[in-house]
Amino acid sequence: MDVVRAHALTRKYGDFFAVNGIDFAITQGECFGFLGPNGAGKTTTMKMISCFLPPSSGDLHVFDMSVCEKPGEIKARLGVMPQEDNLDPDLNVIENLIVYARYFGIGKREAMLRAGELLKFIELSERNHTPIKDLSGGMKRRLMLVRALMNNPEIIMLDEPTTGLDPASRRSVWDRMNELKFNNTTLLLTTHYIEEAERLCDRVAIMDRGRIVAVDTPRTLMITHGGNLEDVYLKLTGRTLEG
């Protein structure tokens, strides 16, 4: 079953097409990735799916609901991990999670239980009362993943989830994401890391200048076009993933 469907999806800023007439569908339980450099249209696409930005034209449905007609109902069923760090620096770890849970009508007692389970899952159990400023970059990224899971979402959206992390922290986040995949959670991510796309994604949409130039499994793309995904991207777009 498709949980996200887009047809001729477009987002314009004046005369500039950030996303230019793309089609794609995402199946329940898969990890679907948008691969491309900065400016390819990945984040803009994610913001439309999460009902943060309205499409300029085209159709976009999430859970068979239009993002233009049912944004509140859609948002309630999503977990979003943005690229930028937007944790509240005035609160500690557990306070960030409890405050976030309130947006979904989750009471403090239930929020504490969920937070405890998720912090254990993400290996941050001993950091409950740590101020945000005292967390490492890797810990902050893991905490943002925990926060995205607080409302038991059916789709988890991750925008460049491991950007700026050291290799050990990146692998830790990947391990947690693979566990979510194993439990049939739908994952949607943007990335410009080849290894991330190859290790996590069931299918990849290669984006360039607001368009999708290919969609398939990483293995099929590499067999069809030769080389790794970076080579595939270069062959299809004439550009590297560094832009």
For residue 207, give the CATH number of its domain. 3.40.50.300
What's the pLDDT score for residue 180? 87
164 shares its domain with 193: yes
As for how many domains the chain has, the answer is 2
Question: 180 lies in a domain?
Answer: yes
142 shares its domain with 210: no
What's the pLDDT score for residue 183? 84
34 shares its domain with 94: no
207 shares its domain with 159: yes
Examine the fold and report which residue of 153, 176, 210 is the final residue of a domain before the chain moves on. Answer: 153
Q: Which residues of 28-101 form beta strands (DSSP E)?
A: 31-35, 57-62, 65-66, 78-81
What's the pLDDT score for residue 111? 96
Mean pLDDT over residues 138-151, rounded?
93
Tens digit of each residue's pLDDT (9 = 90 or more) over 55-70: 999 999 999 999 999 9
174 shares its domain with 234: yes
pTM: 0.92
Question: 147 lies in a domain?
Answer: yes
What's the pLDDT score for residue 163? 83
Question: 59 lies in a domain?
Answer: no
Question: 175 lies in a domain?
Answer: yes
132 shares its domain with 215: no
Tens digit of each residue's pLDDT (9 = 90 or more) over 176-235: 888 888 888 999 999 988 889 999 999 999 999 999 999 999 999 999 998 889 999 999
Tens digit of each residue's pLDDT (9 = 90 or more) over 80-108: 999 889 999 999 999 999 999 999 999 99
73 shares its domain with 182: yes
Looking up tokens 């609901």, which residue turns up? 65
104 shares its domain with 213: no
On the question of pLDDT at 16 being above 80, the answer is yes
Query: 3-class secondary structure for the chain?
Result: CEEEEEEEEEEEECCEEEEEEEEEEEECCCEEEEECCCCCCHHHHHHHHCCCCCCCEEEEEECCEECCCCHHHHHCCEEEECCCCCCCCCCEHHHHHHHHHHCCCCCHHHHHHHHHHHHHHCCCHHHCCCEHHHCCHHHHHHHHHHHHHCCCCCEEEEECCCCCCCHHHHHHHHHHHHHHHHCCCEEEEEECCHHHHHHHCCEEEEEECCEEEEEECHHHHHHHHCCCHHHHHHHHHCCCCCC
Question: 11 lies in a domain?
Answer: no
Examine the fold and report which residue of 92, 119, 153 is the final residue of a domain before the chain moves on. Answer: 153
On the question of pLDDT at 243 being above 70, the answer is no
178 shares its domain with 222: yes
116 shares its domain with 134: yes
Gyration radius from the chain CA atoms: 18
Question: How deeply is 57 buried, as exposed, middle or buried, from its count of CB atoms within 10 A (0-12, 13-18, 19+)?
Answer: exposed
Examine the fold and report which residue of 95, 122, 153 is the final residue of a domain before the chain moves on. Answer: 153
On the question of pLDDT at 27 being above 80, the answer is yes
Question: 8 lies in a domain?
Answer: no
119 shares its domain with 171: no
* Structural domain of 72: 27-53+64-77+155-243
- How far is residue 19's CA from residue 207's CA, in Å, rounded to a whole number? 9
148 shares its domain with 166: no
